[in-house]
């Protein structure tokens, strides 16, 4: 393994010698090791055998955007996106040697996508009966945002970078001010960026949301479909996808949303992450549900009316303003022995010229009067001969008739006798 930097091994030779010279008691030795780790220039973690962080230097704090006190005591698996079983196997390999075992870890900062780091881990040199501690030294593969020391050279570099920072500031302003939800999540689904519109949709604070994954806030009945599309996108079978799904808000209520999802490929040490545009469609879904229920009620009412018409012993039929038949029940067709469709036909196609003229005259009286009227009629069918009946005719009007030429005549023949 090459000398210099993180490639030198777990510890430089001088530090190894210093650690070996530390004696008991164990707590004093542990404090000394922590001080040595804090003095390393690159990010470094001290981890116990159970995988829990014992110490973290300032470089790791800058990497994770967390103070060392908040990092200490956390399980290492909560700070990385790597598979827990693979992480356990790597720590086990590190515990077998103090010379440094190379590996790779995907660090999860408080904000932003995962950062891929080269890692060198190994057992801290120790005396007998002292606790076993592992040291992990990290080298990010891409640039990591960290505070600059206030020197003239750093200020000069900052001034040179200022024009490049302006587009980033404009993007941040647009991101936070957008009326539609915009959210980004690490490849494992954990949120690391969300604008105010998305946070308001779900009712979470920024800190609360960043502890969750998109699967945890998705309604249980929509998770399978969402994960299937995400899996296809991750495999490269599609470039993006769109889905309408339900989110569960912090208060337990549901929110309908249409989301457009794309996977941003990793580059310059930044791991791939999900980029999602979220549109609240709860109101649209509510209107659609109301229309669906109205349509269902209309169809049920229509079915009940049709059942009434078809089972009535009376002859019932309806005409439009021009005297063309709109519908009739089975009894009407049976009495007049009509087998073909009568919709759109007039009286002169079913009855004699004289009888058709009489029926049309009665229809005009009803339309002009606008009230129900009774007639004693002799209907002479071309097929059946004379049929005598008393009838009631009335004008069927609607509120829409004031604007459109609707309306019809409903006629009921009572006591029809052939």
The model's pLDDT over 156-192, given as tens digits with 9 standing for 90+, comes to 434 444 554 566 678 778 888 889 999 999 888 999 8
Place of tokens 């005396």: 127
Cα 2 from Cα 9, distance rounded (Å): 8
For residues 407 and 261, the model is more confident at: 261
pLDDT recorded at residue 7: 41
Range with the lowest mean pLDDT among 88-97, 104-113, 378-387, 389-398? 378-387
Give the CATH number of domain 5-140. 3.30.450.20
Q: Mean pLDDT across the chain, nearest whole number?
A: 77
Kind of pairing, strands 373-381 and 385-396? antiparallel
Q: How far apart are CA 358 and CA 368, in angstroms?
A: 16
% of the chain residues with pLDDT over 70: 73
Q: Tens of pLDDT along 331-359? A: 888 887 888 888 899 888 887 888 888 88
Residues 6+ apart with CB under 8 A from 370: 395, 397
- Encode pLDDT of 260-284 as tens digits: 999 988 776 678 899 999 999 999 9
Model pLDDT, residue 183: 94
Q: What pLDDT does residue 181 have?
A: 94
118-122, 188-192, 242-246: range with highest mean pLDDT: 242-246
Work out the burial of residue 219: count CB atoms within 10 Å of its CB; fewer than 13 is exposed, 13-18 middle, 19 or more buried: middle
Task: Kindly list the domain boundaries of the chain, sorted by start residue.
Answer: 5-140, 174-280, 284-309, 312-417
Q: 174-280 adopts what CATH topology?
A: Beta-Lactamase (3.30.450)
Q: Find how far residue 331's CA is from the centre of its chain.
A: 55
Sheet strands side by side (includes 181-186): 191-194, 181-186, 273-280, 254-264, 240-248
Helix, strand, or coil here: 394?
Answer: strand
**Residue 360, CA distances (Å) to 41, 320, 322, 364, 405 in order:** 103, 12, 9, 6, 19
- Which range scores top for mean pLDDT: 53-62, 95-104, 331-340, 393-402? 53-62
Query: pLDDT band for position 55 (50/70/90)?
Result: confident
- Which tokens in the block code for residue 308? 């009434």
Indicate if the pLDDT at residue 259 is higher than 90: yes
119 burial type by CB count under 10 A (0-12 exposed, 13-18 middle, 19+ buried): buried
Q: Is the predicted pLDDT of residue 1 greater than 70, yes or no? A: no
Average pLDDT of the segment spanning 214-236: 93
Residue 199 binned pLDDT confidence (cut-offs 50, 70, 90): very high
Confidence class for position 152, pLDDT limits 50, 70, 90: very low
- pLDDT for the residue numbered 25: 47
8 A C-beta contact, residue 87 and residue 77: yes
pLDDT score for 252: 94
DSSP letter at 133 equals E
Topology of domain 312-417 in CATH is: Beta-Lactamase (3.30.450)
Handedness of CA 402, 405, 406, 411 (dihedral sign): positive
pLDDT digits (tens, 9 = 90+) for 290-314: 999 999 999 998 889 888 888 888 8
3 against 239, higher pLDDT: 239
For residue 283, what pLDDT is reported? 94
Cα dihedral 200/203/205/210 (nearest 10): -100
pLDDT band at 246 (very low <50, low <70, confident <90, very high): very high
Fold match between 5-140 and 174-280?
yes
């Amino acid at each position: 393994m090459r000398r210099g930097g993180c490639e030198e091994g777990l510890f430089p030779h001088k530090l190894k010698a210093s650690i070996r010279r530390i004696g008991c008691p164990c707590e004093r030795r542990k404090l000394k090791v922590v001080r040595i780790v804090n003095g390393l220039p690159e990010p470094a973690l001290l981890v116990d055998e159970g995988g829990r962080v014992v110490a973290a230097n300032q470089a790791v704090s800058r990497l994770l955007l967390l103070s060392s006190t908040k990092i200490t005591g956390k399980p290492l698996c909560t700070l990385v996106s790597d598979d827990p079983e693979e992480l356990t196997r790597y720590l086990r390999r590190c515990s077998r040697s103090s010379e440094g075992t190379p590996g790779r870890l995907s660090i999860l900062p408080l904000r932003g996508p995962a950062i891929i780091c080269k890692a060198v881990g190994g057992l801290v040199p120790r005396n007998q009966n002292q606790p076993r501690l592992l040291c992990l030294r990290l080298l990010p593969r891409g640039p990591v945002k960290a505070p600059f020391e206030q020197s003239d050279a750093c200020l000069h570099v900052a001034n040179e970078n200022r024009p490049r920072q302006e587009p980033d500031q404009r993007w941040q302003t647009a991101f936070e001010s957008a009326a539609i939800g915009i959210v980004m999540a690490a490849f494992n689904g954990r949120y690391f960026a969300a604008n105010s519109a998305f946070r308001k949709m779900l009712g979470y604070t920024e800190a609360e949301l960043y502890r969750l994954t998109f699967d945890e806030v998705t309604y249980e009945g929509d998770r399978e479909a969402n994960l299937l599309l995400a899996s296809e996108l991750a495999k490269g079978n599609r470039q993006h996808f769109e889905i309408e799904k339900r989110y569960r808000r912090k208060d337990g209520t549901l929110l309908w949303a249409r989301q457009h999802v794309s996977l941003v490929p990793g580059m310059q040490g930044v791991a791939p992450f999900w980029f999602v545009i979220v549109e609240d469609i709860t109101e649209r879904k509510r209107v659609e549900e109301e229309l669906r229920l109205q349509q269902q009620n209309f169809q049920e009412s229509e079915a009940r009316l049709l059942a009434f018409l078809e089972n009535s012993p009376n002859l019932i039929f309806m005409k439009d303003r021009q005297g063309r038949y709109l519908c009739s029940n089975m009894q009407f067709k049976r009495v007049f022995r009509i087998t073909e469709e009568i919709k759109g036909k007039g009286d002169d196609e079913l009855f004699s010229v004289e009888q058709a003229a009489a029926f049309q005259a009665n229809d005009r009286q009803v339309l002009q009067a606008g009230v129900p009227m009774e007639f004693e009629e002799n209907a002479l069918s071309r097929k059946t001969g004379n049929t005598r009946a008393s009838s009631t005719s009335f004008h069927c009007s609607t509120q829409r008739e004031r604007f459109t030429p609707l309306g019809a005549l409903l006629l009921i023949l009572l006591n029809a006798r052939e």
